[in-house]
Amino acid sequence: MSLLVVTGDLSSSSHSDSIATALDHIRHADFRRAYDLFAAGVLREAKGSVEWQEAIYGQAVCAEQVTPPSAERRAEARQLYEQLLAVTPASRLAPRVWMNLGRMEESTGLRQTPKRLVAARNYYGTVLEQWPNESIAGEATLRIAATWVQAFEIEQVKRGVSILQHWLAAHPNDPLASAMWQYLGQTFFYPLESYEESLACYLKADR
C-alpha cells in the first residue's frame, strides 16, 4: 500500500497532536509506533467521531504493514476495517476501506485462489456501485479488471480487458488512464500474445 495513499486519506482534516505524530511515523515507515498512537486514539476518541474514524483507519493500516507480517495482524486489520464500516458506513474513508479490503484479498502474501479473486472483485464492485462519480471509481475499475486478468484463463482475461476498454472509452481523462493503458499493454503482450494491440496500448499510455 502506498504511503501517499495512507497519509493522503487522512490529510484533509485537522488532527490531534497524536494523529499528526502517527502520520509522521508512517511517513518514516515506523508502523509500530504509529500503530500504538492510533490504537490509543481509538480508545480516547468518541466512537463514530471523525477523530475515531481516522484513528481506527490508521490502526488498521498499520496492522497490515507492521513487519514481519502475520495472519493475526491481517485478521486484526480486517476486523478494524469492518468495525469502521459498521459504525460509520457513510465515512469519507469508507471507499478506501473497501479498496483496502479488496487489496488484502489480492495480496501476494497469500495463496491466490479464484475464491479470493471473487472476494476482491466484490469489494471493488461496492466502491464502483456506491461512488461511481468519485475519482476512486477508476481505481476500483482497474482492480476489478485485474481480478479477471489474474485468473490467467483466456476468456476471463478478455473480460478484464473489455472492462478497461469500456471504461477508457467513457472516461478518457481518468487520472489512471495512463496506468490502465499500460496494464492493457502488458496484458495484450502476455497472456494474450497480441503484440500489435500491446504496442498500440503502450503508445496511448505515453500520450
Q: What is the pLDDT of residues 84-101, one digit of tens each?
A: 999 999 999 999 999 999
Query: Is residue 112 scored above 80 in pLDDT?
Result: no
Average pLDDT of span 95-114: 85
Average pLDDT of span 165-181: 98
Burial annotation 69-86 (CB, 10 A radius, 16+ → b, else e): eeeebbebbbebbeebbe
Predicted pLDDT of residue 119 = 95
CA distance 123 to 61: 17
Q: For residue range 113-141, what is the model confidence (pLDDT) as tens digits?
A: 888 999 999 999 999 999 999 999 999 99
pLDDT-based confidence at residue 107 (cuts at 50, 70, 90): confident
Residue 88 DSSP code = -
In this structure, are residues 85 and 97 in contact, taking their beta carbons and an 8 Å threshold?
A: yes
CA distance 140 to 135: 9
Predicted pLDDT of residue 4 = 41
Predicted pLDDT of residue 3 = 45
Predicted pLDDT of residue 17 = 81
| CA proximity to 83, closest of 41, 47, 31, 38 | 47
Query: Is residue 19 scored above 90 in pLDDT?
Result: no
Query: Is residue 2 scored above 50 in pLDDT?
Result: no
pLDDT-based confidence at residue 14 (cuts at 50, 70, 90): low
Average pLDDT of span 12-39: 86
pTM: 0.92
In this structure, are residues 96 and 9 in contact, taking their beta carbons and an 8 Å threshold?
A: yes
| CA proximity to 55, closest of 67, 69, 38 | 38
- What percent of the chain shows pLDDT beyond 90? 83
How high is the mean pLDDT of the chain? Answer: 92
Cell of 31: 508502523
